[in-house]
Amino acid sequence: MAWAEVVEDIKSLTVMFCVLRCFNIMADEYNIKFAQVLTDNGPEFGPKGSKKKSEHPFERMLMELWVKHRYTRPYRPQTNGKAKRFWRTLNYDLIEETTFNSEEELKQELLEYMVYYNHQRPHSL
């Protein structure tokens, strides 16, 4: 299962709400509950190793949901290889050579693609 969404920026509050929507969709539609999440070390995901994690919106949300936050190792893209491969597939299947007339059209096409990706597109093992 995968999920992608168009966001207006990558500020911590925006990312927090986007991830919360993803968690809710995965729980409601697929009965998937998250015990942990793996992110890169971007500031939108919180200060790694900080004593003040509860002050960061993304970290606070994870604490409230009892979801453990794990970080990828810096300069080791293979740590997050499945996500990198998903983005490459999404770019190839949907984004490349496609012109969207509006942000709404992009959002709709992306939503339809996510349904296709999760339910119909063949995946290798």
Read off the pLDDT of residues 78-90 as tens digits, 9 standing for 90 and up: 888 888 899 999 9
Pairing of strands 36-39, 68-71: parallel
CATH no. for 12-119: 3.30.420
Q: What is the pLDDT of residues 10-46, one digit of tens each?
A: 999 999 999 999 999 999 999 999 999 999 889 999 8
Q: Which two tokens stand for residue 5?
A: 């969404």
CB contact at 8 A, 111 and 117: no
